[in-house]
Structures are given as C-alpha cells and as structure tokens.
Structure 1
Amino acid sequence: MKARPVLDHTLDSHTFYSYYYLKEELIAFCRKYHLPTSGGKIEISERIAHYLDTKEILTVQMKKSAKPCIKEITLDALIEDNFVCSEMHRAFFKKQIGSSFSFTVAFQQWLKANTGKTYDDAISAYHEIVKAKKKRVTKIDKQFEYNTYIRDFFSDNKGKTLQDAIACWKYKKCQQGHNRYESSDLIALDKLKRG
C-alpha cells in the first residue's frame, strides 16, 4: 500500500487530487505558501491544484455581502435580491412555521433562486421541501465526502457500528483514488481484528 504523500509544493495536481486531505491541511498549505485561505474546500483545492502546476497564486475576488434592506417581513412581502439568512428572517419563519424551522440548504437555495416571489410562497416551498426530504435520500454536496461515505457504508452494511464505518473511512482516505465507499473497504475491519 502506497502511503499518502505529504501535501507540499513538490506534488503535482494529479497526485494531489488522488488523495484525501482535510480542509485544515489545505488551509495550512495555503498559509505556508501564501495562498488565500478563503472559500470552501472545493475552491481551496482548485487554488492549490493551480499553484502546484503553475506556481502561480490565484487572487480571490471578495464578494460584497449585501445588507438586507427589508425593514419588516410580511406574508405579502417579496423575497429580496441577494437574500441573506438574517435573524429577522429566522424569527419570521419560526413565527410562521414553528420552532422546528431551520434554514436547510435546500430552502436557502430556493430562497436565493426565487427572488420576487412572496414570503407566503416561501413558506409553502419550505413545507414541500420538508415533505420531499422525508420521502427520499438527500443529496450530500461534493465537499462532504465523509458524510457521503458514512451514509453509503450504512446502506450497504446493516448492523455495523459507527466505529466500523469510521475505521473503513480512515482506511479509504489513505488510499490513492476516489473516496467513495466500496464493499472492498471492509478489509480495514479484518486488518483491525488481526491487530
């Protein structure tokens, strides 16, 4: 088994993408080589890959966050451009929907994609999103590889423990290639038993 290489400037992007690195490791690399550390794991990985191949530091355009201009939210009010999940919005939705309300990723995406619709429409959409979520497996975004792996592990291994899943994940992330669950990853449990 080939050991995972240390993340440093001597790697090329192909090798870098062949292994799993924690976001903390990516940020440490960026700090060491003076790359911007802002953004999500995917953005930081793209920045590092570019640097590894070109030794160029990509600049990051900071987005100006829009200040919410709405003073009061009513059912008839229109969802504003550049929607931001504020405490005022949270309080409104909790009052209308109940204490179980939370800004799920799907609901935030709906709000940002439906500028100009009413907050009454948003409440209806929220209920539909919750109902749909109960009926299907939710999609986990690409950057949450661990969560995806653990879910797929349990769907294939009824009766196994979280410790089993984590042991297989630790084995998998040290292997070259993708980080998706495969039944062959169960070899990690055999190795643990043997000591």
Structure 2
Amino acid sequence: MSERPELDRKLDGKTFRSYYYLKEELVDFCRKNNLPISGGKIELADRIACFLDTGKVLEASVKRKAPANVQLIDENTIIEPNIVCSEKHRAFFKEHIGAAFSFNVAFQKWLKSNAGKTYKEAIAAYYQILEEKKQGKTKIDCQFEYNTYIRDFFEDNKGKTLEDAIKCWKYKKQIQGHNRYERIDLVALGE
C-alpha cells in the first residue's frame, strides 16, 4: 500500500487526483499558495490540479444571485429565478407541509430548476420527492464521497457496524485510486 503523499507543490495533478484529501486540506493548500479558497470541493480540486501542473491560478467562478423580489408567498406565487432558500421560504413550506419540512438537496434542485412554476406545484413536488426517497436509493452527488462509500458498504455488509464502515473508509482514502467501496476494503477489518 502506498502512503498518501502530503499535499504540497511537489505533487503533479495526476498524483494529487489519485488520492483523497479533505476539503479543509484543499483550502489550506490554496491559502498557502495564494489561490482562491471559494467554491466546493470539486472546484478546489480542479484549481489545485491546474496549479500543480501549470503554475497557473484558475480564478473562482463567480455566481451572483439576483436578490429575490418576492415579498409575500402564497400557493399561486411564481417561483423566482435563482431562488435562495431563505427563512421566508422555510416558513411558507412549514406552514403548508408541516413542522417536519426541510430543504433536502433534491427539493432545492427542483426549486432551482423550476422557476416560473407555482409554490403549489412545489408543495406537490416535495411530497413526490419524499415518496421517491421511500421507494428507492437516492442519488448522492459526487462530492459526497464519504456518504456514498458508507451507503455502499452497508449494502454489501449487512450486520456490520458504522465503526467497521469508518475503518474501511479511513483505509480506502489513504490508498491511491478511486474512493468507491470495494469488498477488498474489508482487509482493514482483518478479513
């Protein structure tokens, strides 16, 4: 097993990408090397790989959100473009859906991609998303490698503990290559 190299300027982009680094490590590297620290883990990794290979600094993508013009929300109000899920929106949905309402990722994506529809349609979509979650495996976005790994570990290892899953995850992220669960990772448990 090759040991994970320290994230520094001696690495090349390909080697860097073949190991797992926490977002905090990526931000720390960016700070030390005067790279922009904004963005998600994927954007930070792209910026670092470019810097390691070329010495060039990729600027952070600028995403400006238009201020929401909605004063009062009712079921017939149109969902605004570039919606920001604010306390005002949370209050509306809690009033119409109930105290258990939360802005889950799938619902936030639905809102952002359905500007022009009504909030009544959003309420119906929320219930549909909950129903779909009950019926099957939900998609975990690619930047949430840990969550994906743990879910896949338990699908393959009924009866194992979260502690077992975390041991295997810690083993996996220290070795070169992808960070997806494989049965061979059980070597971390002495199996």
Shorter-chain TM-score above 0.5 = yes
The answer for the alignment partner of 1:9 in structure 2 is 9
The answer for the alignment partner of 1:89 in structure 2 is 89
The answer for the alignment partner of 2:54 in structure 1 is 54
Residue 81 of structure 1: CA displacement? Answer: 1.2
Residue 61 of structure 1: CA displacement? Answer: 3.7
- Tell me the distance in 1 between the aligned counterparts of 2:188 and 2:81: 50
The answer for the alignment partner of 1:161 in structure 2 is 161
The answer for the alignment partner of 1:126 in structure 2 is 126
Superposed, which structure 2 residues align to 1:1-195 within 5 Å?
1-190=1-190
* Residue identity opposite 1:8 in structure 2: D
SS in 1 for 2:140: coil
- Tell me the distance in 2 between the aligned counterparts of 1:134 and 1:49: 39
Residue 62 of structure 1: CA displacement? Answer: 2.7
How many residues align? The count is 191
- Tell me the distance in 1 between the aligned counterparts of 2:63 and 2:121: 28
Identity of aligned residues (%): 63
**Ranges in structure 1 where 5+ consecutive residues have no aligned partner:** none
* Residue identity opposite 1:113 in structure 2: S
- Tell me the distance in 2 between the aligned counterparts of 1:122 and 1:161: 38
- Tell me the distance in 2 between the aligned counterparts of 1:113 and 1:168: 37
SS in 2 for 1:122: helix
Deviations 1:100-121 (A, max 9, x none): 1111111111111111111101
Deviations 1:103-156 (A, max 9, x none): 111111111111111110110111101111110111111011111111111110
Residue 58 of structure 1: CA displacement? Answer: 1.3
If the length of structure 2 is used for normalisation, what is the TM-score? 0.97
Alpha carbons of 1:61 and 1:152: their partners in 2 closer, same or farther (altered >3 Å)? Answer: closer
Deviations 1:25-55 (A, max 9, x none): 1011000100001010000000000001100
8 Å CA contact 2:39, 2:60 repeated in 1: no
**Ranges in structure 2 where 5+ consecutive residues have no aligned partner:** none
Residue 59 of structure 1: CA displacement? Answer: 1.5
* Residue identity opposite 1:87 in structure 2: E
Residue 67 of structure 1: CA displacement? Answer: 1.6
Residue 64 of structure 1: CA displacement? Answer: 2.2
- Tell me the distance in 2 between the aligned counterparts of 1:51 and 1:45: 10
Q: Once superposed, what is the RMSD of the aligned Cα atoms?
A: 1.0
SS in 2 for 1:99: coil
Residue 60 of structure 1: CA displacement? Answer: 1.8
- Tell me the distance in 2 between the aligned counterparts of 1:44 and 1:82: 23
- Tell me the distance in 1 between the aligned counterparts of 2:63 and 2:51: 22
